[in-house]
Amino acid sequence: MKILIVEDEELAAGRLAQMIKKAVPDALISGPLDSVSETVKHLNSGAAYDLIFMDIQLADGKSFSVFEQCKILTPVIFTTAYDEFALQAFEHNSIDYLLKPVNQEKLNAALDKFKKLKEYFGADDSNARIYEIIKSLHLPGKPTYKDRFLVSKGDSMVPIRIGEIACFFAEEKAVFLLTHDNKRHLIPHTIDELSEKLDPKLFFRVNRQYILSAESVRTVYNHFNFKLKVELKADPRAEILVSRSKTSSFKAWMNGEML
């Protein structure tokens, strides 16, 4: 099996190669390539692989732009520290999406998925056929997201439209939504579940506890240890910190850039 690693962190690339070798001892591993430009040049030269492991954030930009500059039929397993790129990853040949630090068990499962696809198609052109299947899975269109929540209010229930919501937050094993007029409502969802149900253009998960709407942000401050501190319009007293690993993607999101 010929495998290419696209990764701009040398230690992460070395660790990934060791894990792949452990799972597939006879794998022929190339790379790492650490930039979009280098990857495009390499793939356009005619280099062919059975599988590509690709980090999303490379030295000169996001690896998604590689797909805009060359045609890739090879299945891709994305590796990244940013969970908010999952939906976009599956629009680009992705058969799996591994969050860093990648562990051996999840890597093995991703490789098993790839092997089963290869075994199913079986022919020499199986990568092209896998590519067609992957693309067809995305033909139905954009994912749908929640546009309102039904919440309890005394003895009754009322709908809260998505545009009325400033943020979602976890507190003492419960999850609440906070409206722009600073009213909180208990909801029967976890933060993880909400991350999948909310439109990423409108909401961003800044840490394990908070998911913010863009309209809720009053001010963003630089904070200790390269983190960011966010002040909300609805509740300016709240101390909301953006995880260090998400600061760059949060800034891009606040700047209206597509993730």
Percent of the chain with pLDDT over 70: 85
Residue ranges with strand state E in 89-173: 94-99, 148-153, 156-161, 165-171
Least confident of 3-12, 32-41, 113-122: 113-122
Domain spans, the chain? 2-136, 148-254
| Domain formed by 148-254, architecture | Beta Barrel (2.40)
Q: How far is CA 10 from CA 33, 137, 155, 183, 210, in A?
A: 10, 34, 58, 47, 32
Q: What are phi and psi of 65, to 5 degrees?
A: -70, -15
Q: Is the pLDDT of residue 108 over 50?
A: yes
Closest CA to 210 of 180, 183, 233, 232: 232
- For residues 117-140, give the mean pLDDT: 52
Output b/e per residue, 201-229; b: 16+ Cβ within 10 A.
ebbbbbbeebbbbeebbeebeeeeeebbe
Helix (H, G, I), strand (E, B) or coil at 222: strand
Q: How far is CA 153 from CA 40, 160, 166, 172, 177, in A?
A: 55, 11, 18, 20, 13
Structure tokens at 119: 């075994």
- For residues 52-78, give the mean pLDDT: 86
**Hey, which of 24-28, 110-114, 224-228 has the most confident mean pLDDT?**
24-28
- For residues 133-158, give the mean pLDDT: 69
Burial class (CB within 10 angstroms; exposed 0-12, middle 13-18, buried 19+) of 86: middle
d(CA 135, CA 92): 8
Q: What is the pLDDT of residue 83?
A: 61
Confidence of residue 64 (pLDDT cuts 50, 70, 90): confident
Structure tokens at 178: 């906070």
Q: Is the pTM of this model over 0.85?
A: no
Q: Which CATH superfamily groups domain 2-136?
A: Response regulator (3.40.50.2300)
Q: Which amino acid is at 52?
A: I
Q: What is the pLDDT of residue 84?
A: 59
Are 96 and 110 a contacting pair, CB within 8 Å?
yes
Q: Is the pLDDT of residue 168 over 50?
A: yes
d(CA 48, CA 43): 7
Confidence of residue 249 (pLDDT cuts 50, 70, 90): confident
Structure tokens at 29: 């591993």
Mean pLDDT of the chain, nearest integer: 83
